Amino acid sequence: MQTASATALRPQRTRTLSCPFIYASLALRLDANTAVTDKLFQDVVSEALRQLYGYIGGSIHSDFLSITQLSATLRVDKRDWNKLWSALTLLTSYNGVKCTVEVITHSPFLQSLAAAS
């Protein structure tokens, strides 16, 4: 014979999905008629970090997953995401040429980033 306490429901458990990275879609806009290359896009992002945080504070690891003429898909550790985003937002020039980097969208999952574009 079972008692009421023996048939009580077990507490529910919730599992959360976590990803150690943030994936972002970026757009680069330059004022000059400069051909945008893969190297130039990477240098602009690195320079934005250096301008705001210096050489030591701006040394974060990021991976460019794809780079097209004016846009890129970037992967960065989620602990460094706010630092990168603020540096990109405050960037106004690169080597004397006015430029901006716009964060189009970001997500902790690459698949949802692809679905949003």
pLDDT band at residue 1, thresholds of 50, 70 and 90?
Answer: low
Q: How far apart are CA 112 and CA 96, in angstroms?
A: 36
Listing from the earlier edge strand, what are the strands of the sheet with 21-30?
62-67, 71-77, 21-30, 97-107, 93-94
pLDDT digits (tens, 9 = 90+) for 94-114: 999 999 999 999 999 888 877
pTM, 2 dp = 0.79
Least confident of 3-7, 16-20, 35-39: 3-7
Instruction: Return the structure tokens found at 91.
Output: 């960037």
Least confident of 8-22, 31-45, 91-105: 8-22
Average pLDDT over residues 82-91: 95
pLDDT at 3 over 70: no
